[in-house]
Structure 1
Amino acid sequence: MSIENVGSMNNLLSNYNSRDWVKSADLEIAQPFKPEVLDPGKLDSVAPTKTFGEVLAQSIGEVNRLQEDANLAMQKLATGKSKNLHETMLAVERADIAFRTMNQVRLKVIDAYREVMKMQV
Structure 2
Amino acid sequence: MKIDPMMTEMQAMKMEATNSNVPATGAQVGSEFGELLNNAMNNVNQLQKSSSDLQTRFDLGDPNVSLSDVMIARNKSSVAFEATVQVRNKLVDAYKELMNMPV
TM-superposed deviation, 1:120: 1.2
RMSD: 1.9
The aligned counterpart of 1:8 is none
The aligned counterpart of 1:61 is 42
TM-score normalized by structure 2? 0.68
Q: Which has the larger radius of gyration?
A: 1
Q: How does 1:1-121 map to 2 (within 5 A)?
A: 43=21, 51-82=32-63, 83-121=65-103
Instruction: Mark the runs of 5 or more structure 1 residues left unpaired by the alignment.
Output: 1-41
Higher relative contact order (CA 8 A, sep 6+): 2
Q: Which amino acid aligns with 2:70?
A: T
Runs of 4+ deviating beyond 6 Å:
none
Aligned pair count reads 77
Report the structure, 1 or 2, having the larger helix content. Answer: 2
- SS of the aligned residue for 2:102 comes to coil
Q: Which amino acid aligns with 1:43?
A: N
TM-superposed deviation, 1:56: 0.7
- CA distance in 1: counterparts of 2:38 and 2:55, whole angstroms: 26
The aligned counterpart of 2:7 is none
Instruction: Mark the runs of 5 or more structure 2 residues left unpaired by the alignment.
Output: 1-19, 23-27
TM-superposed deviation, 1:55: 0.6
